[in-house]
Amino acid sequence: MQPKPRTLQILDLVTVLFFLAAVGMVFFYAPLEAVMGQVQRVFYFHVATAWVGMLGFLVAAIAGVAYLVKQDRKWDIVGLSAVEISLVFFFIAIVSGSIWAKPSWGTWWTWEPRLTTAAIVELVYAAYLLLRQGLEDPERRARFGAVYAILGFISVPLTFISIRLFRTIHPVVVGSGAAAFDMSPAMLQTFLFSLWTFSLVFADLLWHRIRLGRLAERVEALKLKIND
């Protein structure tokens, strides 16, 4: 059993400190939004969790390519880990968005392009985990996971650009030009700090999940050896 590396211990600590600072900024530094009131504070972590979701799906697609090229199982563990973390954070983004939508739009859910494509992405990657479980052979499972992660990633940029392609009630935050989401400097600082913090959270969790994956692989290999 490998002990936790010193770098990971430092990353854990830095991540916790940044996370606490981000929470502090959201509740005590960012001003109250003039129309929506307190619920607008959900925006900072809502976008940050959606960002982590998309980032992880991208990492999984890259790991998929790396696996197909190098045939090294470590890339399968990276891909699986990234998808699992992203599923959790994308789920948070969908649910927190729904909670924000209720007082803003008057409904918990509407089948507009962003929400619909986000729900599809979540289902696509939930299926990835379910289908993997049905495959016993580790090599076949890794190959399937790699191809699925690459093809599944097509749904991610589609979600990102959906609010730019279609008429929708969902606000455009990044690269929005004239239809910019109006933020004061303190709001923008809190928003960017939250994005950075959640990127750190992702890196930290990914490292932990990869370690867990390696441990699972050792247990599986030993189990197969004993059964033989």
Neighbours of 75 (CB within 10 A): 23
**Chain positions contacting another protein, by CB under 8 A:** 1, 32-42, 45-46, 49, 85, 88, 91-92, 95-96, 99-100, 102-103, 205, 208-209, 211-212, 215-216, 218-219, 222-223, 225-226
The amino acid that residue 65 corresponds to is: V
> Residues 6 or more apart from 158 whose CB is under 8 A from it?
117
CB of 220 to another protein, least distance (A): 9
Looking at the Cβ atoms of 88 and 120, the one nearer to another protein is: 88
Distance separating alpha carbons of residues 140 and 147, to the nearest angstrom:
11
How many other CB atoms sit within 10 Å of the CB of residue 44?
A: 24
Nearer to another protein, 186 or 215 (CB): 215
What is the nearest approach in angstroms of another protein to the Cβ of residue 225?
7
Instruction: Using the minimum distance from each CB to another protein, give the nearer residue, 39 or 158.
Output: 39
Residue 100 or 160: the one with the smaller Cβ distance to another protein is 100
CB of 68 to another protein, least distance (A): 27
Nearer to another protein by Cβ, of 99 and 186: the residue is 99
Q: Which is nearest to 195 in space by CA: 24, 22, 11, 3? A: 22
CB of 126 to another protein, least distance (A): 15
Shortest spacing between CB 98 and another protein, in angstroms: 9
CB of 22 to another protein, least distance (A): 11
Quick one: 48 or 142, whose CB is closer to another protein? Answer: 48
